[in-house]
Amino acid sequence: MGDVAAKIKVMPNNPDVDLDSLQEQLEAALPQGAKIRGFEREDVAFGLVALLPTVIVPDDAGGTEAVEEAFSDIDDIESVSVESVGRL
């Protein structure tokens, strides 16, 4: 089996969240076998900036559900949604 790349949109719960710290928390929360290939930032509104990590997971790992759940458990995150998914 191959790997799957997913771009995940992570919305902080307020504009004052330290995005560099949040990136570190996302990397630390990854389930085994998953890795982050890079981050993008997207201005949303009223100073709120979303993080868009590209996460690589094994194709047989049940998709991105474990990653989404791990990210959702972080205190400063309002929502997590998958923007796109593709095979590598």
| Whole-model pTM over 0.85 | yes
CB 35 within 8 A of CB 88: no
Q: How many domains does the chain have?
A: 1
Q: How far apart are CA 29 and CA 85, in angstroms?
A: 20
Q: Tell me the pLDDT of the chain (88 aa) as tens digits.
A: 689 999 999 999 999 999 999 999 999 999 998 999 999 999 998 899 999 999 999 887 568 899 999 999 999 999 999 999 998 8
CATH number at residue 63: 3.30.70.60
Termini Cα distance of the chain: 10
Domain housing 42: 3-87
Predicted pLDDT at 60: 74
